[in-house]
Amino acid sequence: MDLEYIESLIQLMKEHGVVALELEEDGNRVNLQMSGGAAVPMMMPAAPVAPTAQPAPVAEGASSGTTVNSPMVGTFYSSPKPSDPPFVSVGARVHKGQVLCIIEAMKLMNELESDVDGVVAEILVDNANPVQFGQPLFRITPD
């Protein structure tokens, strides 16, 4: 693979919001990870990914809170290993920067951290289920 080809891959990643890309072609392998707006070759596990949090719409009879949405397409895991307890459960107090779950995307494990302090009101996805970009995963009510 030549440098022009890799630069075109990076441009496509930026245009389509892809955070990780692994490609093998003619015996050459490239693994790119977006970090701070630039794609960098990735040789270690993925860095924690900032979730997209936004105020949750309030339905009648429901309490308000912040919805933590998936920043990527992948598989939702509530714990680091199947035998381990979940990172968080309903009713748990969370702090900004605390790991909520893992989203596996392209064989990379991406830790999703809370960007708010509060209490987990709802976990909206079951363990090991696929998630889509922007899909609500958690609802956190402020302290």
Per-residue model confidence as pLDDT tens for the chain (143 residues): 677 877 888 888 887 778 887 777 777 777 787 765 444 444 334 444 555 445 445 444 445 789 999 999 999 999 999 999 999 999 999 999 999 999 998 889 999 999 999 999 999 999 999 999 999 999 999 87
Whether 22 and 30 have beta carbons less than 8 Å apart is answered as: yes
Residue 51 is classified by DSSP as: -
Domains parsed from the chain with CATH numbers: 3-41 (no CATH), 52-141 (2.40.50.100)
For tokens 């609802």, name the residue: 139
Could you tell me the CA-to-CA distances from 53 to 38, 42, 131 in Å, in that order?
Answer: 22, 26, 16
Rounded Cα distance between 65 and 138, Å, is 10
Rounded Cα distance between 74 and 105, Å, is 5
